Structure formats: C-alpha cells, structure tokens
Amino acid sequence: MQTKHQVHNLIILDESGSMDSIKNSIIQGFNEIVQTVKGIAIAYPDQEHFITLISFNGLGQKILHFMDPVEILGQIDGKRYRPDASTPLYDAMGFAFAKLSQVLADKEKYNVLVTIMTDGEENASKEYTGMNIRNTIDGLKLKGWTFTYIGADHNVEKFATSISITNTMVFEKNATAIKNMFAKEKSARARYSEKIDLQEATENDFYNDKT
C-alpha cells in the first residue's frame, strides 16, 4: 500500500554523437543530481524518490534506470553512456512518457519531474511527431507532471515552446558552463521538492529565471 508521496525523476538524456565532446561533464553532472536527490529524500521523509534515466540516439533508447529507488542508485560511467548517431528526440520522449505513464496509471499521490537534456533539435524520429508530443505533454501536465528542457546549440526556448514546455535552460558546451547548469538544476530540484511538501508545486515555477 502506497503511504508516502512519490516523486518520479524522469531524465531523458541525449546520447547522440554530438554529445561526445561533453560526455565526461554530463556523466559527472548526472551523478551529482543523484546525490542531490538522495539528500532531498532525506530532507523530506514523507516523499519517496525514484529515478528513471533513459538515453537515446539513432540506434534506439536505452533504459539505464527505471523507477529505481534513489537510495540504491550508483553512478553511471563511460561504459554505460556512449554518445553516437543521430537525435530522434520525439521518439525518445514518446517512449519514456508512455512507459512511465503505464506504471503510474493506478497511483494517486505522486509528482513527475521530467528533465530533457540535449544539444540538438529533433532530426530522426519515426514513430512520434512534434504534435504527438505536445498533446501528450499537455495531458500529462494535468496529472502532476512538470517538464523542463535543457539544451545547447539550437533555439532552446523556441523548440521547447513548440512542444508545450515553458521551463527552459540553455548551456554552452564547455566544462564551466555545464557545471553551472547542473548547479542551477540541482537547486531548482530542491525547491521543487520543498513546494511539493507545501502542496505548492506548479508547472511554471521550476526555474526562477531563464539564464
């Protein structure tokens, strides 16, 4: 029987070839997010945190974690995250949303925080279109899902808006900028859990500014 309020941290991570130059920084940043979520889970004992990490490229989607309790999570490394191929972003989002939605169908007390991280726009999807994804996101927002989009090397805000995501952050592809991006992301994640605890979490308040 579910007693705690569940918080599902869904991270959809670009593993296309253009991410190779920042591979080590991305791995380090994700591992820091895991530590942050572990700390949040301790700070808010009425919340139960899970992490789902799905990476993607033109070779398909990889489930690196699926609804794993954050307490048992280890680190990812270069053997598990190996950038290659193209960017079927719509297919990755459609796959991840459908898989997690199916499992949560009979749950009541939960929030989902979706973080999409990519350095390029969609260029290779075969199963989903932008309109499919936009409609899905609009529906999931009504069920306690919050969406964030973190991007580089393209018009991040324009693309995110096209799929109904208003929480955006831009990063440059260098170690310092990526470190700063992850620091801001972790801080926002902590504020989000505080607002869940106060029953004040809304779709449009994840990032306080757009820098």
pTM for the model? 0.93
CA angle 148, 150, 156 (to 5 degrees): 105
Give the 3-state secondary structure of residue 5.
strand
Task: For residue 167, tell me if it sits in a domain.
Answer: yes
Whichever domain contains 42, its CATH number is 3.40.50.410
Task: For residue 58, tell me if it sits in a domain.
Answer: yes
Per-residue pLDDT of the chain (211 residues; tens, 9 = 90+): 568 899 999 999 999 999 999 999 999 999 989 999 999 999 999 999 999 999 999 999 999 999 999 988 888 899 999 999 999 999 999 999 999 999 999 888 899 999 999 998 898 999 999 999 999 999 999 998 999 999 999 999 999 999 999 999 999 999 899 999 999 999 999 899 988 888 776 666 677 544 3
Overall domain count for the chain: 1
Determine whether 89 is exposed, middle or buried from the number of CB atoms within 10 Å of its CB (0-12, 13-18, 19+). buried
Task: For residue 210, tell me if it sits in a domain.
Answer: no
Task: For residue 203, tell me if it sits in a domain.
Answer: no
Domain with 126 in it: 5-197
Number of H helices, E strands in the chain: 5, 6
